[in-house]
Every structure is written in C-alpha cells, then in structure tokens.
C-alpha cells in the first residue's frame, strides 16, 4: 500500500459569474504514488500546481475529479483517518498569538486526541532548537523561529506521512541544517516525506525520487539518480567582466558575472570560449562540471508539454 496515492487528480476553477473569464485547470489528470518510507520531491515553477495538489492532499481543497489516499484512507470520504496520518508544514506563517510555544504544541496534540505528550514535545523542542523558547509567546518569535514551531506542530502527533511545503523559504542556514538533520532522522525511522522546494540542491541531496509539475501536468517522474543521468550534457561555468554576446546569451544561464552553458564535448567548449574571447571579454574561473538537478529541471521545463513517460522510472 502506498503512503500517498494521487489517482487522476484534476482541479478546475470556473471564471467569475457574469464575466467572460475562461475556466482555469490547475491540475490535469495527475497520477502517481509515493511509497512507504520514501523521501519524495515535488518540483515545479510558481503556478505549476504544487500547492493545489498539497491542499487537496490535506483536505483544504476539494478535487474536481480523481481521488487521493493517505495510508489507504480517502482524504474526502475517510477524512479523519487521513488527517491523523498526515503532518503538513504550510508555506505561510500561521500561528495563534495568544499562546506560548509549549502551549501551542499541547493544543495541537489535543486536536488529534493525543494525551500525555510532553516527552515527545520536549524532544521536538530540543531537536528543532526551540527548547529555550518554550515559554515565549508566539508573537515574540522571529520568522525563522515561527517556522520551527510550524514544523513541530506538524510532527506533534507523530504522523507516518510528513508534507513539507517550501519549509526553508526565507530562513537562515542554521535552521535549514537543523531541520534537514531532524527530518532525515525521521525518514530513516520509517516516516514518509513529501517535499516541495525551490532550492533544488536540497531536493537533489535529500530526495530519492522526484516528480515535476508544469502547468498542472506531471512532466517528469523518476529516481533522482536517473534524472541526473538523463542530462544531455556537462556544463561549462566561468565568470566574465562584461555582458555576454547575444550569440551565446540565448543558451546560457547567467547569474551576475557567472555564466553557465551546456556543453556536449571538448570541441563545443572551445567554441564557446573562442566566441567569448572574440567578443573581447575576460574569462575567469573556468570549470567544467556535471549537470545537476537544476540543469535537469530547466531542461524539462523548457521542453514542450507532453507525456512524462520518457522520464518515468
């Protein structure tokens, strides 16, 4: 039995009544399973449908068609059992300003009928670096600390399935390291993890399998290692002192002074460097690296929408 099963999930939004606005399909026949104990990454650009899919999974939005199961429980018809099996860390910083951290976690435990939970709450506080903030009012916490509390609230009832929706957006390096060490430990203990993130290096390091959404369609689904093997080239990376020539800019990924170009072999690398020198640019810190998940992601997103079968493993 999969930990999570998305079965032909569709979500459509109608145009405003009395207007000429067309209906919008946020998800279109999305189907895939996440296995027990898996660390799964769900990737896609803004507006791809990731948060809509998670909202359906969490029971916050009703699908227009299809079915979603958590530990075999339908999120609509068997919602109580599905909710108990799920712990969700949302993107937004949502908190109750009237309670301190420990009180918030005790109340969250009560929502799920969990009593005498102080030992696990203490472990969560310690593991997430919140022990010294246990008696602090939620309003007094920084954004990063509030994010840690959201993670603790999602885990307080010990759910077998953990959903992390952009958990490290806008937080510091220390929190990222603390969070990932703790989540990786829970995953090794058998918890299933579903992660959405725009930090693709996190997904590459943590996730054993990746699904990619584009405009509501599943366009890639494969083991992370297989996705990396599917990259069509290595990458030439260097720094320049001025703007890149137009002949190269169309295929390059430019971040400030850093230029990255897909390169099939030595001849293409030399042609790139010759074109840069011919344009009168100074080239620094030249290196050739293997394609990473960001390169694969950009390649998939640039392709025309079609069946994901070529990248299904």
Q: Provide DSSP, 200-226.
A: HHHHHHH-SEEEEEETTEEEEEEEHHH
Q: What residues make up the domain containing 51?
A: 4-85+159-228
Along the 313 residues of the chain, how does pLDDT read in single tens digits?
A: 899 999 999 999 876 555 555 678 899 999 999 999 999 999 999 888 999 999 999 989 999 999 999 999 999 999 999 999 999 988 777 777 788 889 889 988 888 888 889 899 999 998 888 888 888 888 888 877 888 888 899 999 999 999 998 887 767 787 788 888 889 999 999 999 999 988 898 999 999 999 999 999 999 999 998 988 877 678 888 888 878 777 777 778 888 888 888 887 788 888 888 888 888 888 888 888 888 898 888 888 877 544 444 454 4
DSSP reduced 3-state for 293: helix
Which candidate, 172, 158, 164, 163, places its Cα nearest to that of 123? 158
State the distance between the two ends of the chain, measured CA to CA, in whole angstroms.
19
What are the angstrom distances between the C-alpha of 11 and each of 52, 81, 85, 277? 8, 23, 23, 51
- Give the integer Cα–Cα distance in Å for 48 and 39: 21
- Cross-strand pairs, 312: 221
pLDDT at 29: 92
Residue the block writes with tokens 């494969």: 222
Q: Are residues 58 and 45 in the same domain?
A: yes
Tokens found for residue 225: 């290692």
Q: Are residues 224 and 179 in the same domain?
A: yes
Q: Are residues 252 and 220 in the same domain?
A: no
Q: Are residues 216 and 244 in the same domain?
A: no
Does the residue 308 lie in any domain?
A: no
pLDDT at 313: 47
Under 8 Å between Cβ of 3 and 34: yes
pLDDT at 307: 44
- Give the integer Cα–Cα distance in Å for 125 and 137: 14
* Domain of residue 59, CATH code: 3.40.50.300
CA atoms within 13 A on the CB side of 296: 26
Does the residue 108 lie in any domain?
A: no
Does the residue 94 lie in any domain?
A: no
- Give the integer Cα–Cα distance in Å for 234 and 288: 7
pLDDT at 277: 83
Q: Are residues 238 and 218 in the same domain?
A: no
Which domain-ending residue is among 200, 228, 256?
228
- Give the integer Cα–Cα distance in Å for 260 and 249: 10
Q: Are residues 80 and 163 in the same domain?
A: yes
Q: What's the longest Cα–Cα distance across the chain?
A: 72
DSSP reduced 3-state for 98: coil
Tokens found for residue 217: 């369609």
What are the angstrom distances between the C-alpha of 235 and each of 49, 130, 261, 273, 291? 29, 41, 5, 13, 6
- Give the integer Cα–Cα distance in Å for 10 and 66: 6
Q: Are residues 190 and 276 in the same domain?
A: no
Residue the block writes with tokens 């640019």: 281
For residue 269, the tally of other CB atoms under 10 A from its CB is 16
Looking at the structure of the chain, the number of domains it has is 2
Which domain-ending residue is among 180, 201, 228?
228
pLDDT at 7: 95
Q: Residue 170: exposed, middle, or buried by beta-carbon count in 10 A (0-12, 13-18, 19+)?
A: exposed
Q: Are residues 170 and 193 in the same domain?
A: yes
- Give the integer Cα–Cα distance in Å for 111 and 234: 51
């Amino acid at each position: 039995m999969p930990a999570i099963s998305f079965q032909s999930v569709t979500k459509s939004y109608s145009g405003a009544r009395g207007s000429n606005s067309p209906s919008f399909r946020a998800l279109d026949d999305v189907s895939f399973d996440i296995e027990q104990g898996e660390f799964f990454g769900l990737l896609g650009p803004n507006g791809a449908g990731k948060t809509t899919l998670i909202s359906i999974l969490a029971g916050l939005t009703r699908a227009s068609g299809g079915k979603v199961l958590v530990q075999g429980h339908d999120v609509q018809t068997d919602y109580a059992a599905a909710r108990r099996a799920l712990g969700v860390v949302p993107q937004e910083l949502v908190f109750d300003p009237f309670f301190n951290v420990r009180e918030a976690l005790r109340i969250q435990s009560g929502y799920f009928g969990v009593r005498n939970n102080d030992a696990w709450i203490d472990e969560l506080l310690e593991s997430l670096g919140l022990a010294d903030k246990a008696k602090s009012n939620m309003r007094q916490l920084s954004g990063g600390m509030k994010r840690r509390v959201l993670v603790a609230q999602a885990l307080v009832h010990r759910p077998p399935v953990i959903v992390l929706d952009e958990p490290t957006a806008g937080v510091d390096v220390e929190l990222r390291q603390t969070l990932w060490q703790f989540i990786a430990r829970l995953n090794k203990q058998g918890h299933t993890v579903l992660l959405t993130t725009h930090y693709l290096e996190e997904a590459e390091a943590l996730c054993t399998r990746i699904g990619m959404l584009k405009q509501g369609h599943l366009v890639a689904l494969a083991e992370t290692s297989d996705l990396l093997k599917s990259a069509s080239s290595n990458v030439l990376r260097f720094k320049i002192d001025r703007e890149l020539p137009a002949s190269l800019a169309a295929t390059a990924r430019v971040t400030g002074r850093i230029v990255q170009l897909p390169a099939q072999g030595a001849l293409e690398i030399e042609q790139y460097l010759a074109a840069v020198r011919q344009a009168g640019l100074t080239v620094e810190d030249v290196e050739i690296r293997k394609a990473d998940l960001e390169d694969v992601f950009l390649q998939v997103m640039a392709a025309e929408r079609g069946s994901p079968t070529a990248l299904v493993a």
